Structure 1
Amino acid sequence: MENALENASQTAKATENLPLIISVDDHTVEPATVWQDRLPKKYLDTGPRVVRAPLKEMTFLGGRFKPVMGEPGDDGPIGDWWVYEDLRRPLTRLDTAVGFSRDEIKLEVITYEQMRPGSYDVPSRLADMDVNHVQSAVCFPTFPRFCGQTFTEAADRELGLLCVRAYNDWTVEEWCGPQARGRLIPLALIPLWDAELAAAEVRRNAARGVRAVAFSEIPPHLGLPSVHTDYWDPFLAACDETGTVVAMHIGSSSRMPSTSADAPPAVGSTITFANCCFSMVDWLMSGKFERFPNLKVMYAEGQIGWIPYILERADVVWEENRGWGGVADKVHRPPSELFADHVYGCFFDDAFGLRNLDSIGVGNVLYETDYPHSDSTWPKSREVGEAQMGHLAPDVVERIVRGNAIGLLGLTPDGLWSPR
């Protein structure tokens, strides 16, 4: 009985004062003026801009999102649309769902006035972070998509590069600028179509204190070379040299996992981790971690419960099949060891993963809240964390909730971002 009381007391102590959260995966909905304020005048009519227009039709099946914008005067719900070259992309309720009940969250177009201001306004975001026990947050983009695919797929490469740089300038100077007080942590984009330009952009942003860059979980899905080639080496060398973390978000290959063209979104939503799983095996078997010993990668919103088995299987394959498996000459350590030194899994709701933390590694796990998406635990991320981490020791909770992020992202000891 005495031991039981002692254990219960330790559990309560671990979570009664959950450390302030550093979320490594939140999102920003870019204000309408980001590119119009920064592009040369000759590009204002073709660069990203927002128009208000009706929706003609919209589907999201088999992992594919297909909206069709109507003409002025057409019937249909009105929303704000990003227009860029031939692209027509609406803002939707899935872009910013916090503040609505789960049953109210539908695939529908919305305007800026219909979303929570914290989605795009810095003071409002900080207030929502306060409500949610969040100190600091890394934010992935919305219109550029999770690693800048929007600009990669555009026809005008010169304009695309200007758009990437404009986004990064806005992120560093405004979104993560003085009014954020170090609580918003910048995440840079790169021109994926040119590894040398990508390396230059990594170094440009690293010089002003940016320590994370968005990348695709499976580049070949974007028509780009895989990590098994040497195409990405200039980019990876820049990340290795500057301590820039390669951050890959689910969906950053422009293809969410699904099973068939007519599968409802619930199928893909259940298996969102799958691309992260495939991607991690790619990296572990690529030899890149041995060539670039300081390289770190993280998987945003991929959860962590699947990791132990994949590491077990990868070690078996490396041990028993590397002779004919094509990796003997480039992967010289067990994949699980490479994982421990180079890979971070991110979660917001994964009780199973936390019960198997010893098989993942306390130092390889990061916490997130996914604000303002429909999966977000806002405004109860603290309660969710306390419920799921109640069995862990206080020092372990501290590392997961903030300590690991501080070390990985080069934050101050207080958990804030400081520009150079």
Structure 2
Amino acid sequence: METMESTQDAAPDAPPFPRIISVDDHTVEPPDVWQDRLPAKYRDRGPRIVRAPLKEMTFLGGKFAPVMGEKGDEGPIGDWWVYEDLHRPLTRLDTAVGYDRDEIKLEVITYEQMRRGSFSVPDRLADMDVNHVQSALCFPTFPRFCGQTFTEAPDRDLGLLCVRAYNDWMVDEWCGPDAQGRLIPLPLIPLWDPVLAAAEVRRNAARGVRAVAFSEIPPYLGLPSIHSDDWDPFLAACDETGTVVAMHIGSSSRMPSTSADAPPAVGSTVTFANCCFSMVDWLMSGKFERFPNLKVMYAEGQIGWIPYILERADVVWEENRGWGGVADKVHRPPSELFAGHVFGCFFDDAFGLRNLDAIGVGNVLYETDYPHSDSTWPKSRQVGEEQMGHLAPDVVERIVRGNAIELLGLTEDGLWPGAVSAS
């Protein structure tokens, strides 16, 4: 197991690499998040941990399919989130840092088998120190990347309570005073109701939150597209409060793949595809014209694909807008809209950094993806130094922390003001 950072020292005349603000890490929720916060009558149906054997588990064609066994069944033992009819195990892919790449398998695990920084604030801060990370924005695990777990459940009253309970835990505990301002809150919304979603955005904005998780392609979840007016109450609340719409790959519950029997390596190679499709949706939707303060970011989407998509979108807008359905709502070239509203996030993208001038220094953010299998922990500083060595120090500063400070409303020191003021 890897436990210590192993970075090469920078050249003696080089400025020190900036302390990283990661805009895409993950939390594995402790077992008591919902049991401690739901009304008593809901606790037997709300999210809870059950230790049980695994009967079978596959991950093909972008679809994750685990089957939980019963007590006494044979099979590896793991901790499972149980919520209404859903049985979702914790797996090694949820928390893989510290393991050699070849040791990372699709297998069930217990809390005792994961790195404590996955769910414990003090241990997370220690692992951030090892990785030269100052602050981190964390996406959820059990609720999935935008809370679609609660959207898919039958009981919407319980779902709303679960969303609010998660947000209270995220703001008050995960990002509370013990985090020293180093953990940045990312709440969820009730995706099934844009009016309730708007209320939740405003509730959290009132306590200093400046980001919210959302799906990159809502129709994949059976929800309206971004081209409709259905989302306008939610978008208006984000525009009004300066809340960034944060979309993680896979937040539509449909990972890109090519066939039902394609191995996970196929989907893992093309994970950026949903971000690509989503960005074109937003650029051609007219929403940035209607909500001028609205900003969106793509976590773990990488950035190397962006220049061509912007070039193609501009050509289509210029040459085909008469029949393309956008002439009456998109009044500027998509590349201009991108510059003012869209942010790409990467943890390992040398190609994108070589083409930074075609993306925009102000539109790029850095991430570490802790504790997932793709994470660059504990070598995120080394990876950054190697891939950004050709860039001027002020450009590196903006990418590694400056853009995140501005976008997420952090202090000049890169901390979340809500926890700083509370402490």
TM-score normalized by the length of structure 2 = 0.96
Q: Which amino acid aligns with 2:135?
A: S
**Is 1:249 aligned to residue 248 of structure 2?**
yes
Pairwise CA distance, 1:12? 4.8
Q: Which amino acid aligns with 2:27?
A: T
Aligned to 2:397: 398
Deviations 1:309-328 (A, max 9, x none): 00000000000000000000
Q: Which amino acid aligns with 1:395?
A: D
CA distance in 1, matches of 2:256, 2:373: 18
Q: Which amino acid aligns with 1:360?
A: I
Pairwise CA distance, 1:17? 0.7
CA distance in 1, matches of 2:191, 2:276: 22
Secondary structure (helix, strand or coil) at the match of 2:94 reads coil
**Is 1:33 aligned to residue 23 of structure 2?**
no
Cα distance change, pair 196–258 in 1 and its aligned pair in 2 (3 A): same
What residue ranges of structure 2 are gaps of 5+ in the alignment? 1-9
Aligned to 2:3: none
Pairwise CA distance, 1:400? 0.1
Cα distance change, pair 44–86 in 1 and its aligned pair in 2 (3 A): same
Secondary structure (helix, strand or coil) at the match of 1:35 reads coil
Q: Which amino acid aligns with 1:359?
A: A
Aligned to 1:126: 125
Aligned to 2:371: 372
Aligned to 1:334: 333
Q: Taking every aligned residue pair, what percent have the same amino acid on both sides?
A: 88
CA distance in 1, matches of 2:344, 2:314: 18
CA distance in 2, matches of 1:96, 1:406: 27
Conserved 8 A contact 1:240-1:295:
yes
Deviations 1:215-252 (A, max 9, x none): 00000000000000000000000000000000000000
CA distance in 2, matches of 1:334, 1:389: 29
What residue ranges of structure 1 are gaps of 5+ in the alignment? 1-10
Aligned to 2:282: 283
Secondary structure (helix, strand or coil) at the match of 2:167 reads helix
Aligned to 1:7: none
CA distance in 2, matches of 1:328, 1:51: 54
Q: Which amino acid aligns with 1:287?
A: G
CA distance in 2, matches of 1:16, 1:252: 37
Runs of 4+ in 1 over 3 A off after TM superposition: 11-16
Q: Which amino acid aligns with 2:205?
A: A
CA distance in 1, matches of 2:285, 2:177: 40
Secondary structure (helix, strand or coil) at the match of 1:94 reads helix
Q: Which amino acid aligns with 1:319?
A: E
CA distance in 2, matches of 1:38, 1:150: 18
Aligned to 1:71: 70
Pairwise CA distance, 1:418? 1.1
Conserved 8 A contact 1:15-1:390:
no
Q: Which amino acid aligns with 1:320?
A: E
Aligned to 1:268: 267
Conserved 8 A contact 1:213-1:244:
yes
**Is 1:145 aligned to residue 141 of structure 2?**
no
CA distance in 2, matches of 1:53, 1:161: 28
Conserved 8 A contact 2:15-2:393:
no
RMSD of aligned C-alpha atoms? 0.9
CA distance in 1, matches of 2:273, 2:11: 34
Aligned to 1:5: none
Q: Which amino acid aligns with 2:319?
A: E
Conserved 8 A contact 2:61-2:263:
yes
**Is 1:312 aligned to residue 340 of structure 2?**
no
TM-score normalized by the length of structure 1 = 0.97
Pairwise CA distance, 1:15? 5.7
CA distance in 2, matches of 1:286, 1:173: 35
Aligned to 1:180: 179
Deviations 1:47-69 (A, max 9, x none): 00000000000000000000000
Aligned to 2:417: 418
CA distance in 1, matches of 2:404, 2:362: 10
**Is 1:105 aligned to residue 107 of structure 2?**
no
CA distance in 2, matches of 1:48, 1:263: 31
Cα distance change, pair 13–204 in 1 and its aligned pair in 2 (3 A): farther
CA distance in 1, matches of 2:12, 2:364: 21
Secondary structure (helix, strand or coil) at the match of 2:134 reads strand
Aligned to 1:4: none
Pairwise CA distance, 1:13? 7.5
Conserved 8 A contact 2:318-2:333:
yes
CA distance in 2, matches of 1:105, 1:16: 35
